[in-house]
Chain A
């Protein structure tokens, strides 16, 4: 199965990249954009098919390496 992990800075932590993109979008005239957060997407291919086990394992990966939970939050999406 596959896992998609998205990692972004926590709310409340200034994201200078997001701010730069926000300013660029507003200078292009996209006035509806209120905020931008830039994060990263990590795709994992797992040699296992049990959903619960895979989720627990990817969560452990996030906590140990993929995200720095002092400054980042993560979301896991599993696909068969």
Chain B
């Protein structure tokens, strides 16, 4: 696949550790151009999408994402998101989006208090999202998680808004797609593994699609997320649809 005119920014904070994986996924899987964007950059170059990668920005000091969200680049990302730009926050990226208020709710420590690193299953709850359009409704993906604070929380009013506006995109489930307490790895409210903002252009997810987008890695389920993002970018730039 070759999409050299599509340009994706990958943010880099001190402590990011999935930035190179995301860069690799964008260039190798999508054939698009990926640019690392340093957290001190106050502006973004012209981009089709922004990925906020996983890791431990600022050592997770104070709270996960709490300090990163005040980095100069986040003001630019907020403007980009508010003007409809596609923003994908993975793991620590999701935590940063919550702290920045670009997504509702907050993260608590995993119910078990343990850092959990394993493959889990998520059910696709919303295929209208620009990040899941390649999935079937209810499709079960196997994706890896690696986090200590992925226990999503929102107050009851926020949860009902998320449901009413179809903002819940992924729910932890069994391999057969049953959303059960046993299939919930971290204690997340309502088994939530990923949510979108009201307009759908900002997505936060705890699982790592970039870690499973290549047959060499033994799992390609993450490709569906990345390819959906590519489709969304192309549909926004109709001239590219044939490339």
A14 near B111: Cβ-Cβ < 8 Å: yes
Residue interface bits B106-135, CB-to-A below 8 A is 1, else 0 = 101111110000000000000000000000
* CB contact between B70 and one of A9, A14, A16, A65 (< 8 Å): that residue: A65
How big is chain B's contact interface, by range?
Answer: 10 to 19
Q: Report the bound CA distance from A66 to B99 in whole Å.
A: 12
B113 near A68: Cβ-Cβ < 8 Å: no
A65 near B153: Cβ-Cβ < 8 Å: no
B113 near A13: Cβ-Cβ < 8 Å: no
B62 near A65: Cβ-Cβ < 8 Å: yes
* A-B pairs with beta carbons under 8 A, tally: 33
A16 near B111: Cβ-Cβ < 8 Å: yes
Residue interface bits B57-76, CB-to-A below 8 A is 1, else 0 = 00000110011001000000
Q: Report the bound CA distance from A68 to B111 in whole Å.
A: 19
Query: Does B105 count as interface, using CB distance less than 8 angstroms?
Result: yes
Residues on A with C-beta less than 8 A from B109 are 16-17
B106 near A70: Cβ-Cβ < 8 Å: yes
- Please name the 5 residue pairs, one residue from A and one from B, whose CB atoms are nearest each other, closest first: A70-B106, A71-B106, A16-B113, A68-B106, A16-B111
- A residues engaging B (CB < 8 A)? 9, 13-14, 16-17, 20, 65-66, 68, 70-71
- B residues engaging A (CB < 8 A)? 62-63, 66-67, 70, 99, 105-106, 108-113, 153-155, 187
